[in-house]
Amino acid sequence: MMVFGRLGRMTLRGIEQFGDATMLALQALALMFRRPWQGKHFVLQLYALGVGSLAIIIITGAFTGMVLALQGYYTLAKFGSESLLGAGVGMSIIRELGPVLGAFMVIGRAGSSITAEIGIMRVTEQTDALEMMAVNPKQRIILPRIVAVTLALPLLVSLFDVVGIGAGYLVGVDLLGVNPGAYMAELIAKIGMHDMYGGWVKTVVFGFLIGVICTYMGYRAEPTTEGVAKATTQAVVIASVSVLIIDYVLTSFFL
Amino acid sequence: MQNYKRIEITVGLFVVIGLLAISWLAVKVGQVGGLGASGYVLTADFDDVGGVRKGSDIMMAGVIIGRVDGVKLVNSDHASMALRINNGVKIAEDAFASVRTKGIIGDRYIRITQGTEESYLEPGDEIEETESAINIEDLISKYIFNGKE
Amino acid sequence: MIRGEQLSKQFGDVMALSPTDIHIREGAITAIMGGSGSGKTTLLRLLAGLEKPTSGHIWYGDEDLCAISDRRLYQLREQMGMLFQYSALLNSLNVYDNVAFPLHEHTDLDESVIRTMVMMKLEQVGLRGFEHLMPSELSGGMAKRVAFARAIAMDPRIVFFDEPTSGLDPISAGVITTLIADTSRKNRMTSIVVTHDVGAGLSIADHVILLWQGRIIAEGPPQSIRDSDDERVQQFLEGRPDGPIPFSRSTTSYIDDLTHKPGTVRMKS
Percent pLDDT > 70 in chain C is 96
| Domain count within chain C | 2
What is the ipTM, given to two decimal places? 0.86
pLDDT score at A250: 92
Residues C57, C165 within the same domain: yes
Residues C11, C29 within the same domain: yes
CB A158 within 8 A of CB A71: no
> Is C105 within 8 Å of chain A by CB?
yes
- The identity of residue C134, as a single letter, is M
Domain that holds residue A201: 39-254
Residues C72, C10 within the same domain: yes
- The identity of residue B56, as a single letter, is S
Chain B residue numbers touching A47 (CB-CB < 8 A):
7, 10-11, 14
Domain that holds residue C168: 1-79+157-176+184-269
CB C79 within 8 A of CB C111: no
> How many angstroms separate the CA atoms of A24 and A29, rounded?
9
- The residue length of chain C stands at 269
Q: Judge whether A203 lies within some domain.
A: yes
> How many angstroms separate the CA atoms of C173 and A243, rounded?
51
Whether A10 shows a pLDDT value over 80: the answer reads: yes
> How many angstroms separate the CA atoms of B69 and B65, rounded?
13
To the nearest whole Å, the CA of B8 is away from the closest chain A CA by: 7
Say yes or no for a CB contact (<8 Å) between A155 and B14.
Answer: yes
Instruction: Please state, in angstroms and as integers, the Cα–Cα distance from residue C176 to each residue in B8, B80, C25, C32, C163, following that order.
Output: 40, 87, 22, 17, 11
Q: What are the CB-based long-range contacts (under 8 Å, 24+) for C225-231?
A: C226/C202
Per-residue pLDDT of C13-44, as tens digits, reads: 888 888 889 989 888 999 999 887 788 889 99
Instruction: Please state, in angstroms and as integers, the Cα–Cα distance from residue B128 to each residue in B42, B45, B69, B94, following that order.
Output: 11, 8, 18, 7
> How many angstroms separate the CA atoms of B148 and C71, rounded?
93
Pick the closest to residue C21 from C67, C53, C69 (CA basis): C53
The predicted model gives C248-262 an average pLDDT of: 75
Residues C115, C196 within the same domain: no
Per-residue pLDDT of C194-204, as tens digits, reads: 998 888 888 89
The predicted model gives A76-99 an average pLDDT of: 88
Q: Compute and round to an integer the Cα radius of gyration of chain C.
A: 21
Pick the closest to residue C97 from C64, C125, C135 (CA basis): C135
| Domain count within chain A | 1
H-helix or E-strand spanning residue C22: strand C14-24
Q: DSSP per residue over A115-126, as a string?
A: HHHHHHHHHTTH
Q: Judge whether A240 lies within some domain.
A: yes
Residues C101, C115 within the same domain: yes
Residue C88 is nearest to which of A124, A134, A135, comparing CB atoms?
A124
Chain C residue numbers touching A129 (CB-CB < 8 A):
82, 84, 88-90
Per-residue pLDDT of C133-151, as tens digits, reads: 999 999 888 899 999 999 9
To the nearest whole Å, the CA of A103 is away from the closest chain C CA by: 26
Residues C146, C116 within the same domain: yes
Query: How many CB pairs lie under 8 A apart between chains A and C?
Result: 48
Residues C9, C132 within the same domain: no
> Is C86 within 8 Å of chain A by CB?
yes
Instruction: Please state, in angstroms and as integers, the Cα–Cα distance from residue A32 to each residue in A36, A38, A47, A110, A138, following that order.
Output: 9, 8, 19, 21, 10
Residues C45, C102 within the same domain: no
Residues C151, C189 within the same domain: no
Strand partners, C64: C59
Spans in chain B with pLDDT lower than 50: 34-36, 149
Q: Judge whether A26 lies within some domain.
A: no
Per-residue pLDDT of C188-246, as tens digits, reads: 899 999 998 888 888 899 999 998 888 888 889 989 888 888 888 888 888 877 777 77
